Structure 1
Amino acid sequence: MVLVSLLDRIDIPETNVANYVLDNCERIGGPDHTVFLDSATGYALTAAELRSYVRRLAAGLRQHFGIKRGDVVAIFASNSVNFPIVVYGVVASGATCTTVNPTYTPRELEHQLTDSQATMIVVGGGLLDTALEAFSHMDDSAKPKHILHMDEARTGKEDSIFSAMADETAGPVDDGLQPSDYSTTPAYICYSSGTTGLPKGVLLSHRNMVANAMQIQRVKELDLERSQGSRHEIFLGLAPFCHAYGLSYVLHSSVALGGTIVIMSRYSFDGFLKAIETHRITFAYLVPPLVCALSKDPRVDDYNVSSMHTVLSGGATLSPTLIEATQKRLPHVRVIQGYGMTEMSPAITMLATSHNEPASIGILMANCEAKVVDHDNNEVAAPGEPGELCFRGPNIMVGYLNNRRATEDIFDSDGFLHTGDIGYVDSKGFFFITDRKKEIIKFKGFQISPSELESILAEHPDIADAAVMPVYDDSQATEVPRGFFVMKDSGNNDQERAKAVVEWLHERVAGFKRLRGGFVIIDHIPRSPAGKIIRKSLREIQHVNLGKATVAA
C-alpha cells in the first residue's frame, strides 16, 4: 500500500534555489533584518547586504573567472558568515556547488575534487595546506583551475572572494537556466558517507532543494497554526553547512522563513551554551550526542537557556528515555526528530513541535509518498508492521554522479528510493525507525539491532558516546555484538566502570542481545557531520583493537 502525505500539497516554483531563499528571506523578514550573526565577533549581515554580496559574487565569478552553468565550484571551509555568501553566489551564477567537509584529509579532498571535476575551489582559513597537498596527488588536468580564499585576512588580494565582489553595482545574474532545467540541473553535489566504499556524489537539483525547503517550512507552519512556534525564530547555526542537513534546514529553510541564524565557527560545549544564553536562541538543530549532553552535563545549569523552545535532532534516532530525560531537565524545551538522507535533500519526515509522539521520526513531508516492503520487496499492508522504508517525492535526488549502477540499485521500477532503514508507520501516519537493514547483527538466528543497544547505552551516566558492531565468534560460528565505549571523565577507573555499564545493559535486554563480543574503550566514535556512526571507520578501529576487547559477559 502506497502512503500519501497527510499535509496539503504545495506548489513548487521552477526557480534557482538561491533566488528562492533570498526572495523569501527579504519578503518575510524585511531588507534590514539580521540574517546571519557571528556568535563570537557579533558581526551581522542584513537581508539587503546578503543579496548585494551574493549578486556581486555571482557576477564576479562569471565575468572574471568564466564560471558558468555546468561548472562545479568546491567550498572547503568551516561554518562562517561568509560561507552562505559563497554558496548562494555559486548557485546563483548557474554553476554547481560541491561542499567539502573541512575535516577531510588531503586524500579525501582529492577524491571529491577529482570525482566532481571541480573547476574552482574556495578555501577557508587554515585549510590551504590541506588543499595544496591534495593537489600534489592529482593529475594537472584534474586540478581546479582557480583557488579563491574565504579568509578575510586576504581581503585586497586578487585571489580573495572579496576581490571577486568588487562591482558594487552588480544586479541580478542570469543563471542560464530555463524553467524546465531546474528539475534536472544540480545545484549541489553533496557527498554521502555511506557504510562501504568511497563517498558517492549525490546530485541535488534546484527543484529538489526548493521543494525540501518548502516541505520543512510547511511542517513548521503547523506550530504557528497551533500557536506553538515563533514567527521570527533565532536559529543556532551549528549544523555543518558542508552537509545537506546544514544546507537544507539552516541555509535554505530557516533563512527563507525570515529567521536569524547565529553561526558558531568553532564548537565547544560551553560556547554552545553561551550562544544560546547570549543570543536568545529559540530553535536549535542538533545531533544525538549534543542532545545527550543537554540531558546529562552539569554545565547546562550554569547558563540561561530558557529562550530555547525546540531542539530538532537528526542523524540518528533518539530513545524515548533520552528525550524524556532532556525534557525533564529542560521543561521549556520540546525535543523532536526528523529523518532523511543526503539523497532526499535531506528531509523526508519531520515532527512539529506540537506533535506528541516523542519516539517518532515524524510525518511524511508534503507531496511525498512512502511504502514499507518486506525482505522480498512485497508491500506491507498493516499499520505497525515493520519493513524497509521507501520514498518517492520532489525532493528525491536526481541520481549519483558518475555511478549509474548505484543509482539503479537504490531506486525500484516505480521510482521509490529504498533507504535500507527498517521501520514502520502507525495508524496515525507517524513514522518510526527500528534499525538499518545492513547493520543488523545475526546471532544464532536472532536479529540484534545495534541502534537499540546504542540508544540504551547512551542513557548511562558513565557513557559519553557508544557504538555496537558485530564480530565473528569462531567457537560459536556466529556473529556476536561488541561495544565500543567513550567513557565520561576518561581515565578514572575506566575498565571497572565499563564492566559495570555492561552489567547494567544486560539487566535491560534479552539474553541474546548481550555484548558477547565484549567491549573496547576508545577515544571517540567516528560520526558523519549529521551525527551518524561511520561503520566503515569503526571497523578499522575494531581491526586495530583486535584481541583487546574485555569480556564482561
Structure 2
Amino acid sequence: MLGKILKGPEQSEVPNLSLGQYFFKRAEEFGDRECQVDAVTDRRESFSGLKLRSTRVALGLQKRGITSGDVVVVCSNMTLDAAVPNVASFFLGAKVANLDPSLSVKQTSHLIGLVSPKVIFVEEASVPLIEESLRSANHKTEIVVFGNSEQYSTFSDLDTPQTEEESFRPVEVDTQDVVIMLFSSGTTGLPKAICHSHHSFMQMSFSFCNTVDKLDSLLSFTTFYWISGLLFLACSFIGGTRRIICGAIEPQKTFRVIETYKVTCIFLAPILTYQLTNFLNHRDYDTSSLYTIVSGGTGISSAQICKLAATFPHSHIVYIYGLSEIGLATMNRPEDSHKITQSKLGSSGKVAPGFALKVLFSFTSVSA
C-alpha cells in the first residue's frame, strides 16, 4: 500500500477499438469456433453465425434511423437471440441498456424513463410488461418482438439477408463514448443509469479475463441486465470461448450441463449456490471440468463457501467484490483460492488488475 492507496497488478493495455470493432474483428478471427450453445435444445452458434446475424440486425436498425447517438433497449431472458441486438448495437456505436423480464412495471417504467430508448427488443412473453411500462413512462418507441407478433415488428424481420452485409463494417466512434448503460441496485434510492464507455468496459472485461483462468466454457444464469452477463459475453469474444445458456437454475439440470458441456467457469449469485449444495445426488455427475466458481453480488457466509468446496472438490471458489460503476474491485486468482479458504475465509481477494482503491476509515471520508 502506497499513500493509503491499494493498487492491483498492472493491466495489459486494452485494444484501442470500440466494442463493435473489437467484437467484429474477433468474430472474424474465431470464425466457425463455437460461440454460444443452448443446452436445452443443443442448438449451437459459431462466432461467424453470431456476427452475421448481428450485422443483419445492425443494418436493419440503420434503416430505421438508429445512430451512435441513440439508445437500444433489450428485455429478454437469456437465449441465443438475446446477444444479437446487443452486439448489433455495438456495431453501430449505439448505447445499449438491458432490462430483466422479472422487473415490475413500476421499476421498468422508471428505467425506461432514464434512458429514453428509440427501440426496444422484447421477448414475446414480456410484451405486456413493456407496453404498460411505456404508457406509465409516457414514452413512445418502436417495439421489436422476439417471437410472433401481429402488432409489432419481429426480430425475424430484421434477421434476414441484406445486400450490404458483405461490405458492412462497424461504425467508427470515440472509445470514450458511452456504449453500455447499466442500472444501480436502488439500495439508497431509485435506480440510476450507470454509463460505461467502450474503453471502460473493455478495461474491466480484460481485467476479469486476465485474472480468471480456463474460461473455455462459460455458464451463467444472469440476463444482460446484470454486469456479470455482459462480462461473460465480452470474455467469450476476448478468448474465443463459448457461453452455455440453459435457462433458470435447476440443480439436476445444472449438474448435467456441467458434465455434458465440460463447463470450466460458472458465475453464481450467492443465493443460487444453495440450490447446488443442497442437491443430494451431486456425486452422480462428473464436475471435474469445473475449474472456477465465481460468486459475487451479495455476501456469502464462510459456511456456504465450505459447502461449495465440498460439493465441487475439483473447483476453485473465487469470491469477487464489484460495483456496476467500475466493474471488479477485488478478487483472488483461482490458484490462490485454497490458501484463502484455509487462512482468510470470506476474503474477497486482492485489488483487481488495473484498479486502485483508497482506504478510508469506516463510515467517514477521512483517510486511514
Per the normalisation by structure 1, the TM-score is 0.61
Give CA deviations for 1:383-431 in whole Å, capped at 9, x if unaligned.
Answer: xxxxxxxxxxxxxxxxxxxxxxxxxxxxxxxxxxxxxxxxxxxxxxxxx
| Cα distance in structure 1, aligned partners of 2:171 and 2:111 | 24
Task: Please give the secondary structure, in 2, of the residue aligned with 1:97.
Answer: strand
**Matched residue, 1:188:** 180
CA 1:334–1:168: 2 relative to 1, 3 Å? farther
User: Unaligned regions of 5+ residues in structure 1, if any?
Assistant: 224-229, 381-553
- Find the counterpart in structure 2 of residue 118 from structure 1: 117
When the two chains are superposed, the root-mean-square deviation of aligned CA atoms in Å is 2.2
Compared CA separation, residues 235 and 11, structure 1 to 2 (3 A): same
Structure 1 Cα separation of the partners of residues 11 and 102 of structure 2:
39
Matched, 1:165 2:164: no
Q: Matches of 1:267 and 1:48 in 2, distance apart?
A: 29
C-alpha separation in 2, matches of 1:277 and 1:69: 42
Q: Distance in 1 between matches of 2:170 and 2:19?
A: 13
Alpha-carbon distance in 2 for matches of 1:68, 1:212: 25
In structure 2, what residue type is equivalent to 1:350?
Answer: M
Separation (CA, whole Å) in 1 of partners of 2:210 and 2:200: 15
Instruction: Confirm or deny: 8 A CA contact 1:280 1:308 kept in the other structure.
Output: yes
2:5 alignment counterpart: 3
1:104 partner SS: coil
Number of the residue aligned with 1:148: 144
Cα distance in 2 for partners of 1:127, 1:219 equals 37
> After alignment, is 362-371 or 14-23 more displaced?
14-23
**Alignment equivalent of 1:354, drawn from 335, 349, 353:** 335
Give the 3-state SS of the residue equivalent to 1:202 in structure 2.
strand
Deviations 1:325-353 (A, max 9, x none): 32123211111111101111x22222221
Q: Is the 8 A contact 2:75 2:98 kept in 1?
A: yes
**What is the Cα deviation at residue 365 of structure 1?**
2.2
Whole-angstrom CA distance in 2 between matches of 1:78 and 1:376? 40
Rg: which structure is higher? 1
- Amino acid of the residue matched to residue 351 of structure 2? L
Give the Cα separation in 1 of the matches to 2:226 and 2:66. 23
Deviations 1:515-543, CA, capped at 9 Å, x for gaps: xxxxxxxxxxxxxxxxxxxxxxxxxxxxx
Structure 2 residue 354 is matched with structure 1 residue 371: no
Q: What is the CA distance between 1:205 and its match in structure 2?
A: 1.1
- CA 1:315–1:294 in structure 2 vs 1: closer, same or farther (change >3 Å)? same
Secondary structure at 1:127's aligned position in 2? helix
SS at match of 1:193: coil
- Separation (CA, whole Å) in 1 of partners of 2:265 and 2:108: 32
Query: Which amino acid is the alignment partner of residue 377 of structure 1?
Result: S
Determine the C-alpha separation between the residues in 2 that align with 1:66 and 1:11: 34
Q: 2:75·2:120 contact (CA, 8 Å) conserved in 1?
A: yes
TM-aligned CA deviation for residue 252 of structure 1? 0.8
Q: For the structure 1 residues 169 and 354, does the alpha-carbon distance in structure 2 shift closer, same or farther, using more than 3 Å as the test?
A: same
Deviations for 1:28-61, whole angstroms, at most 9, x for unmatched residues? xx31111100011111110111111112211210
Distance, in Å, in 2 between the alignment partners of 1:331 and 1:271 is 19
Deviation at 1:6, TM superposition (A): 4.1
Which letter does structure 1 place at the counterpart of 2:255? L
Are positions 1:264 and 2:264 aligned together?
no
The gaps in structure 2 that reach 5 residues or longer are none
CA–CA distance in structure 2, aligned partners of residues 300 and 122 of structure 1 = 38
**Offset at residue 176 of structure 1 (A):** 4.8
- Normalised TM-score (structure 2): 0.90
Q: CA deviation at 1:82?
A: 0.7
> Counterpart of 1:206?
198
Aligned mates of 2:241, 2:170 — CA distance in 1: 27
CA offsets 1:141-178 (integer angstroms, 9 cap, x no match): x221x111122x46x9971223223316413344252x
Secondary structure (helix, strand or coil) at the match of 2:244 reads strand
Q: CA separation in 2, counterparts of 1:216 and 1:24?
A: 18
TM-superposed deviation, 1:25? 5.1
Q: Secondary structure at the match of 1:126?
A: helix
Residue identity opposite 2:204 in structure 1: N
Q: Is the counterpart of residue 86 in structure 1 residue 78 in structure 2?
A: no
Asked whether the 8 Å contact 1:215–1:366 carries over to 2, the reply is yes
Q: 1:498-527 CA deviation, whole Å, 9 max, x = no partner?
A: xxxxxxxxxxxxxxxxxxxxxxxxxxxxxx
Asked whether 1:238 is paired with 2:221, we answer: yes
Assess, with a 3 A threshold, how the Cα gap between structure 1 residues 330 and 9 changes in structure 2: closer, same or farther: closer
Three-state SS of the structure 1 residue aligned to 2:258 is helix
Q: Summarize the Cα distance change of 1:34–1:168 in structure 2 as closer, same or farther, 3 Å threshold.
A: farther
Cα 1:83–1:108, aligned 2, differ >3 Å: closer, same or farther? same
Asked if 1 retains the 8 angstrom alpha-carbon contact of 2:90 and 2:179, the reply is: yes
Q: Which amino acid aligns with 2:237?
A: V
Q: Residues 291, 25 of structure 1: CA spacing in aligned structure 2 closer, same or farther, 3 A cutoff?
A: farther
> 2:256 touches 2:285 (CA, 8 Å); kept in 1?
yes
Is 2:105–2:129's contact at 8 Å kept on the other side of the alignment? yes
Distance 1:104 1:4, change over 3 A: same
The CA distance in 1 between the partners of 2:285 and 2:159, in whole Å, is: 40
Alpha-carbon distance change, 24 to 357 in structure 1, aligned in 2, over 3 angstroms: farther
CA distance in 2, matches of 1:234, 1:85: 19
| Residue pair 1:90, 1:97 contacting (<8 A) in 2 also | yes
Instruction: Provide the C-alpha distance between the structure 2 equivalents of 1:233 and 1:91, rounded to a whole number of angstroms.
Output: 23
How far has the Cα of 1:290 moved from its partner?
2.4
Letter in 1 for 2:335: S
Question: Shift in Å at residue 92 of structure 1?
Answer: 1.4
Percent identical across equivalent pairs? 21
The structure-2 alpha-carbon separation of the partners of 1:297 and 1:267, relative to structure 1 and needing over 3 Å to count, comes to closer
Distance 1:208 1:120, change over 3 A: same
- C-alpha separation between the residues in 1 aligned to 2:272 and 2:114? 33
Paired residue type of 1:23? K
Is residue 77–residue 102 contact of structure 1 (8 Å, CA) maintained in 2? Answer: yes
Question: SS where residue 243 of structure 2 aligns?
Answer: strand
Larger displacement relative to structure 2 (297-306 or 112-121)? 297-306
* Separation in 1, partners of 2:172, 2:241: 30
* 1:435-477: CA deviation from partner (whole Å, max 9, x where unpaired): xxxxxxxxxxxxxxxxxxxxxxxxxxxxxxxxxxxxxxxxxxx
Contact 2:19 2:202 in 1 (8 A): yes
Question: What SS does the aligned partner of 2:350 have?
Answer: strand
User: Do the aligned residues in 2 keep the contact of 1:157 with 1:163 (CA within 8 Å)?
Assistant: no
Q: Cα–Cα, structure 1 residues 44 and 57, in superposed 2: closer, same or farther, change >3 Å?
A: same
